[in-house]
């Protein structure tokens, strides 16, 4: 650990797509900055080293619609939708090409006020910065709802982050919970080798045709132009009809049942008294932002959220948040959207820095 406190204008926490996009614009503005990333290798979530993702994971969007600013993602030969490895390779090359000042592995344990600046405490040392951008993603905080009976169920319960491949469930009955893309894709591949029941809190919505990339573009561009994001051609939560999901629909397995009331020792039970026995419950129930390192700044409101104006934290104006979902910029939790949002956030930071 380096005990000397280093001084920079901007410290970015997180070296995934969001942190790299911020780094690109900061570099372009010639701001003095550093990117602190907790992982040993480039790529953020996509390098899979912290918690591997499932074997079949690919982008939903094409390379063309998944690029960060300053260098488009190359096509992956023969693939319409790039593999996770291709995305990780792209991000590694991206930070190399733009010579981004990434330090890794550096895990930030806290950000605190120190005089007129912010101090970022990392595992290898401390940085004093005028502005801090937090871009730590959500993958480190899987969310499983505290549903009645969870402790009773004697089968296996796992979250999306724990799932690897369908073969380990061959011949079993798996309940898949969730109405998003992960749930639909994992249900699709599981249903080829296992019996499945799909339960969702709200009826799932399917995108018509392959418009995911276009929706990303629409929302991110409208936001960048200062327009509203309402009324675009679909929501980012809608299910994209990738080939495996289309095949599952054709086999009749994409029928969702309403959320069950409770888990039992042997399965699940709905409010009307019907039950389904199951060997496993797969919770595809999303993630929460990884924000613990910001606690010393007391940025949270009574509901545990951080109120923001654009990307700027209302309770700490030198703190900016990016990449955590719509509340930190339209589609900021996608590759393309992160770029658009980063540009707006960096504009404000640079304006502040030049005002002295």
Angle between helices 181-190 and 243-250 (to 10 degrees): 60
Using CB under 6 A, which of 126, 200, 232, 334 touches ligand FAD?
A: 334
**Residue 264, phi-psi category: left (phi > 0), alpha (psi -120 to 50), beta (remainder):** beta
How many alpha carbons lie under 13 Å from residue 228 in its C-beta half-sphere? 4
Could you give the CA distance from residue 288 to residue 284 in angstroms, rounded to a whole number? 13
Are the C-beta atoms of 257 and 198 separated by less than 8 Å? Answer: yes
Using rule CB under 6 A, residue 135 touches ligand FAD: yes
Q: What is the closest distance, in whole angstroms, from the C-beta atom of residue 185 to ligand FAD in the complex?
A: 9
| DSSP per position, 3-28 | EEEEEEEEEEE--SHHHHHHHHHHHH
Q: Is 286 in the site for ligand FAD (CB under 6 A)?
A: no
| Sign of the CA dihedral with 334 first, then 337, 339, and 341 last | negative
Residue 26 as a binder of ligand FAD (CB under 6 A): the answer is no
What DSSP character marks residue 252? Answer: T
What is the three-class DSSP state of 199? strand
Rg (Cα) of the chain, in Å, rounded? 21
Question: Which phi and psi (to 5°) does residue 19 adopt?
Answer: -65, -40
**Closest approach of ligand FAD to the CB of residue 118, in Å:** 14
Map the footprint of ligand FAD across residues 232-261, applying CB under 6 A.
Answer: none
Interface residue with ligand FAD among 10, 12, 38, 294 (CB under 6 A) is 38
Stretch that binds ligand FAD, among 16-24, 231-239, 295-303, 348-356 (CB under 6 A): 16-24
**Residue (124 or 274) nearer to ligand FAD, CB:** 124
Select the residue interacting with ligand FAD from 17, 23, 142, 325 (CB under 6 A): 17
Nearer to ligand FAD, 254 or 294 (CB): 294
Please tell me whether residue 299 binds ligand FAD under the rule CB under 6 A. Answer: no
> Which residue lies nearer to ligand FAD by CB, 31 or 294?
294
Q: Kindly state the smallest distance separating residue 13's Cβ from ligand FAD, in Å.
A: 5
Judged by beta carbon, residue 63 or residue 268, the one nearer ligand FAD is 63
From the list 103, 102, 96, 85, the residue with the least C-alpha distance to 46 is 85
Does position 329 interact with ligand FAD (CB under 6 A)? The reply is: no
Does residue 312 bind ligand FAD (CB under 6 A)? no
Residue with smaller CB distance to ligand FAD, 265 or 288: 288
Number of residues counted as binding ligand FAD (CB under 6 A): 34
Residue that is written with structure tokens 């895990």 in the block: 107
Instruction: Indicate the residue among 29 and 161 with the shorter CB distance to ligand FAD.
Output: 161
- Residue 220 binds to ligand FAD (criterion: CB under 6 A): no
User: How far is 171 from 194, CA to CA, in rounded Å?
Assistant: 5
Is residue 105 reached through a cis peptide bond, with omega within 30 degrees of 0 on the bond before it?
yes
Q: Which residues bind ligand FAD (CB under 6 A)?
A: 13-19, 36-39, 44-45, 50, 59-61, 66, 107-108, 135-137, 139-140, 182, 290, 293, 323, 333-336, 338
């Amino acid at each position: 650990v380096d005990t000397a406190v280093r001084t920079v204008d901007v410290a970015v926490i997180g070296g995934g797509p969001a942190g790299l996009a911020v780094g690109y614009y900061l570099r372009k503005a010639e701001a003095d900055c550093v990117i602190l990333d907790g992982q040993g290798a480039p790529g953020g979530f996509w390098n899979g080293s912290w918690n591997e993702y499932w074997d079949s994971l690919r982008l939903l969007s094409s390379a063309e619609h998944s690029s960060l600013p300053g260098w488009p993602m190359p096509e992956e030969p023969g693939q319409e939708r790039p593999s996770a490895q291709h995305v990780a390779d792209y991000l590694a090359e991206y930070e190399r090409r733009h010579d981004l000042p990434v330090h890794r592995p550096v895990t930030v344990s806290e950000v605190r006020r120190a005089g007129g600046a912010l101090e970022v405490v990392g595992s290898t040392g401390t940085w004093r910065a005028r502005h801090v951008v937090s871009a730590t993603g959500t993958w480190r905080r899987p969310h499983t709802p505290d549903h009645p009976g969870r402790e009773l169920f004697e089968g296996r319960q796992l979250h999306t982050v724990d799932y690897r491949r369908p073969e380990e469930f061959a011949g079993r009955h798996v309940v898949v919970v969730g109405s998003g893309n992960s749930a639909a894709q994992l249900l699709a591949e599981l249903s080829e080798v296992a019996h499945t029941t799909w339960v969702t809190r709200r009826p799932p919505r399917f995108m018509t045709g392959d418009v995911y990339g276009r929706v990303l573009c629409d929302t991110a561009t409208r936001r960048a132009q200062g327009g509203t994001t309402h009324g675009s051609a679909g929501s980012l939560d809608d299910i994209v009809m990738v080939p495996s999901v289309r095949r599952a629909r054709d086999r009749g397995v994409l029928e969702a049942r309403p959320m069950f009331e409770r888990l039992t020792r042997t399965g699940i039970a709905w409010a009307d008294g019907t039950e389904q026995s199951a060997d496993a419950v797969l919770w595809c129930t999303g993630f929460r932002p990884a924000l613990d390192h910001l606690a010393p700044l007391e940025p949270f409101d009574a509901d545990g959220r951080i109120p923001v104006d654009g990307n700027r934290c209302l309770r700490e104006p030198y703190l900016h948040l990016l990449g955590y979902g719509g509340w930190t910029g339209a589609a900021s939790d996608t590759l393309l959207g992160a770029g658009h949002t980063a540009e707006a956030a960096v504009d404000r930071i640079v304006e502040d820095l030049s005002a002295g």
